[in-house]
Amino acid sequence: MAGIVLNSGYSWKQQRRFTLSTLRDFGVGKRSLESQILEEIKFLHQAVLEKTGEPFDAHFLVNNAVSNIICSIVFGRRFEYTDERFLLLLKLMSKALHLQGSMWAVCAFLREEIENHQKDWDPSAPRDFIDCYLSEIEKRRDDPEAGFHEEETTSTTLLWAFIYMMKYPEIQEKVQAEIDRVIGQSRQPTMADRANMPYTDAVIHEIQRMGNIVPLNLVRTTSKDTTLGGYFLPKGTQVIANLTSVLFDGKEWESPHSFDPGHFLNAQGEFVKMDAFLPFSAGKRFCPGEPLARMELFLFFTSFLQTFTISPPEGTKVSLDFQFGVTLSPKPFKITVAPR
């Protein structure tokens, strides 16, 4: 991921082009990926069901499930939630986000997967992201500037979703009422349902706004001399486009510091797009994972509340305390689930 996120100029262009086209080729925005996500959701629900009634920390299960989506794109397969090697990788990545350490182990895991792929690699029939990556490396042997990578953030947003749904049970109930009305209990949600579920859509947007998981965006550098808002910025100046200032701007939001799905609804209860909703940033470097992340958020969130009601463990209060690494994430917490 560092290959694209922290990159610039020629190398960045190569990586961005490669990431976008590979994500597209492997079904982002297509039905095939939707059914893969829905399959993964079944595994997640099975694992959660086993925890019924006992308080548990959902972090690793959710992280595991969401990571499996990117794994099916990158590695061409999913991993069992009990796979020790995969669990270790996820733990290390979670730590790495906070410490920027442990990266060698992540690289070792990737190297092993790549070596496995190389054994039966057929450049004319790519199976997944790694196969495409191998082809791309092959094509660019004489091009040392180009190199490729991947990563993600959706599970942190889902953890915030659990927190806010526990904190505001009346909002959770309204989402469940909309799910029951539009989808019912006899089938899984699909992306086509979103247009008929303005309240749920608004709640997910509000979770992203309040969750504010990339508060300071990523540090960027001006590629040429420029003037912005009357300030001269010479080429090479580091710039932080502060997303928090937009997501909590008092001129844009009626009550910026309150959790209110009404920020995204008009008087008729219809969903309204807000220009200041920029958790994925804007401009040339905006997040290329946005369509995938939005699809995952809708399907995971809606399916979860279709199947379970979430509440804080008895005798505990919901805390909005956060920890700040590369992303802003909730402090470890437990949930209790009850099947509906």
Interface residue with ligand HEM, options 67, 68, 102, 153 (CB under 6 A): 153
Compare residues 176 and 212 and give the one whose CB is closer to ligand HEM: 212
Interface residue with ligand HEM, options 14, 18, 19, 179 (CB under 6 A): 19
Binding mask 270-309 for ligand HEM (x = CB under 6 A): ---------xxx---xxxxx--xx----------------
Q: Is 71 annotated as a binding residue?
A: no
Q: Are strands 220-221 and 238-239 parallel, antiparallel or unpaired?
A: antiparallel
What is the number of H-type helices and E-type strands within the chain?
12, 8
Residue type, 110: L
* Cα(244)–Cα(320) distance, integer angstroms: 16
Q: How far is the CB of 121 from ligand HEM (least distance, A)?
A: 23
Q: Which candidate, 182, 237, 211, places its Cα nearest to that of 297?
A: 211
Binding mask 174-203 for ligand HEM (x = CB under 6 A): ------------------------------
Compare residues 52 and 221 and give the one whose CB is closer to ligand HEM: 221
| Number of Cβ atoms within 10 Å of the Cβ of 106 | 18
Structure tokens at 139: 């094509």
* Cα(125)–Cα(279) distance, integer angstroms: 36
Interface residue with ligand HEM, options 34, 136, 152, 201 (CB under 6 A): 152
Q: How far is the CB of 125 from ligand HEM (least distance, A)?
A: 23
What are the helix (H) ranges across the chain? 2-5, 9-25, 31-49, 59-74, 84-99, 103-119, 129-139, 154-167, 169-182, 198-211, 243-247, 290-307
Q: How far is the CB of 250 from ligand HEM (least distance, A)?
A: 21
4 binds ligand HEM (CB under 6 A): yes
Q: How far is the CB of 292 from ligand HEM (least distance, A)?
A: 5
5 binds ligand HEM (CB under 6 A): yes
Structure tokens at 326: 């590369």
Q: Is the dihedral of CA 69, 74, 76, 82 positive or negative?
A: negative
Interface residue with ligand HEM, options 67, 217, 307, 336 (CB under 6 A): 217
218 binds ligand HEM (CB under 6 A): yes
Q: What is the CA radius of gyration of the chain?
A: 21
Q: Which residues are annotated as a binding site for heme?
A: 287
Q: What are the residues binding ligand HEM (CB under 6 A)? A: 4-5, 16, 19, 23, 152-154, 157, 213-214, 217-218, 220, 279-281, 285-289, 292-293
